[in-house]
Structure 1
């Protein structure tokens, strides 16, 4: 394929790509980094905190992946502190009863919108300066983007559900594509980013989400 042509690029809103390791926390990272990107400056927010509250809401153990609805509800109602308050754990404690947040004095809350989405809607969001969480069925090609491009191949098998952030739009080899930010560290793709073609996304897209207005602490106090 020819060199990608980038027409919209929101990467400047973000800091370094983070690494979720072997835990099923891609959605917590995607939403956390979108949240941090919408705030002034780059100060990572605690993916551990929002994942913890999402799993409590869903009644799911921390060994399973989160659901988009519960992550967004946790962001709106439980909020997130800075990453330094509860840093991400590469591995869970042997005794899960010891897994829980410390006392938190500062939390940030934010509303959101979610839906089945489409490639066109993702691009429109990017044009309007809104990074977009994408939940899709991830195929085998996603593990190793060739030249930083995920295009898929005949007979490719879907492996699992995965969440990334759309941060750019353009074309690859004459095909429309979006640039996504993953949570597998800087060694994946192009320093943690890769192009994903319209065909690949359209065949595998499950849901999208964008973060909206910031919700003040007073709103939660009034509702209490």
Structure 2
């Protein structure tokens, strides 16, 4: 049993479903920025703003860290203004509209230091995490993902958002994470991950810088 120490999820963000598209970073970044907007932010707009900054991008390529950090400076559109799509965009990419209201703040990426992550969480700051995945990640049991070194082949990585801290009976720290695989994953789209998993398998962390978005 995991006892909750703190929850940092103060905005009405729900676990969404990215479908069969490599858009997890876009979901995580707009999730982090939701508390700065008056409605749900759309990952589609940010995803397209990011891939436009990647030379030679093709459908299915996903995003690159540097391009995502740059695109985040322009801000994020509401989901109602630029809805998420089932399929990848086609190339050549269409221009993004320049009349939408944009919200949120730029993100920055930083190295994983679990002690620093714990401090940030205790300060009420949600954190994005890029994780190398294990088989256990796909099937949380009672909302819990156990530690394993059995990484999936191909160095597959996935972005989630840490929204809470907890501790088990042995005193181990756990992070409550929100995924973008729909409400059926874990418990309503959330699951607890042990700190050992993050220390071993997180490749980077990212958070929101407080400042006004640059103009698009």
TM-score scaled by structure 1?
0.86
In the superposition, relative to structure 1, how do residues 108 and 11 fare at CA in structure 2: closer, same or farther (>3 Å)? closer
**How many Å separate the matches in 1 of 2:65 and 2:93?**
25
Equivalent pair of 1:10/1:131 in contact (CA under 8 Å): yes
The CA RMSD measured in Å over matched residues stands at 2.0
The match for 1:119 is 114
Aligned to 2:10: 12
Q: How many pairs does the alignment contain?
A: 212
Match of 2:209 in 1: 212
C-alpha deviation, 1:145, in angstroms? 0.7
How do residues 1-224 of structure 1 correspond to structure 2 at under 5 angstroms? 3-37=1-35, 39=36, 41=38, 43-59=39-55, 60-76=57-73, 78-92=74-88, 95-97=90-92, 100-153=95-148, 156-159=150-153, 160-174=156-170, 175-216=172-213, 220=215
Deviation at 1:140, TM superposition (A): 1.2
TM-score (norm. length: structure 2): 0.89
> 5+ residue gaps in structure 2?
none
More helix by share: 1
Structure 2 counterpart SS, 1:133? strand
What stretches of structure 1 move > 4 A for 4+ residues in a row?
none
Cα pair 1:137 1:205 within 8 Å, conserved: yes
**Could you tell me whether the CA contact under 8 Å between 1:33 and 1:45 is conserved in 2?**
yes
- Corresponding residue SS for 1:194: strand
Residue 65 and residue 98 in structure 1: after superposition, are their counterparts in 2 closer, same or farther (change >3 A)?
closer
Inter-partner Cα distance in structure 2 for 1:85 and 1:109: 15
SS in 2 for 1:110: coil
- SS class of match (1:48): helix
The CA distance in 2 between the partners of 1:164 and 1:34, in whole Å, is 10
How far apart, in 2, do the equivalents of 1:171 and 1:162 lie? 24
Partner Cα separation in structure 2 for residue 44 and residue 61 of structure 1: 27
Residues 71 and 14 (structure 1 numbering): CA distance in 2 closer, same or farther, change over 3 Å?
farther
Instruction: Say if 1:190 and 1:7 are closer, same or farther in 2 by CA, change over 3 A.
Output: same
Deviation, structure 1 residue 101: 3.3
